[in-house]
Amino acid sequence: MLFEMSRSADGFKWFKNSTAFLAKSAGSGHTQALLRVRYNATAATQLDSNGRIIAGSIFPEGSLIVKELIEQPGVLARYAILYKQKDHRYADAKGWVWGYINVDGTVAETAANKGEACSSCHSQSANIDYQLMNKYFP
Ligand code: HEC
């Protein structure tokens, strides 16, 4: 389900309003060299006019945030996904479901683990409801 929701960029807004590939930050826990991040219409309510996350945001139910993990231009490898649905059986204490899915649909890290491989890093200082893009791409 997360995979099907995340494949198409239709209706999404991009971080800093840009589809450009960004080089991963020094703090990244993700192996691919390049990335870009998009927000569905619900999540995009927490972006300012420059496409940055508004300080103090708590993302509403139905927010879907998709990070495209790219090996090199033209080679999309994986989606890292945050989906807010607090009643989902795989939701964590903040209501987020964590997905990590390769572009061929195989699962890199099952959502059933409730982000246990992800959330300690994403809880670091200056996160906004687990989001780290503002911190590393100011
Ligand atoms: C060691 C730290 C670390 C771990 C572990 C980690 N991440 Fe990340 N993640 C980052 C950083 C830093 C960014 C900002 C972009 C970058 O440099 O990669 C990021 C960006 C993201 C984003 C884009 C939204 C945002 O602003 O944060 C998503 C979605 C995401 N990660 C999901 C995951 C998932 C799912 C897992 C576990 C399978 C995971 N991350 C594990 C550090 C980590």
91 close to 113: Cβ distance less than 8 angstroms: no
**Distance in Å from the first CA to the final CA of the chain:** 32
Q: How many residues does the chain have?
A: 138
Q: Which fold has domain 2-136?
A: Chalcone isomerase (3.50.70)
The Cβ of residue 127 has, within 10 Å, a number of other Cβ atoms equal to: 16
Question: What is the atom index within ligand 1 of the atom nearest the CA of 100?
Answer: 35
Q: Whose CA is nearest to atom 38 of ligand 1?
A: 118
Question: Is the shortest distance between the CB of 24 and ligand 1 below 6 Å?
Answer: yes
Domain ranges of the chain: 2-136
pLDDT in tens, 66-120: 999 999 999 999 999 999 999 999 999 999 999 999 999 999 999 999 999 999 9
The Cβ of residue 60 has, within 10 Å, a number of other Cβ atoms equal to: 12
| pLDDT for 115 | 96
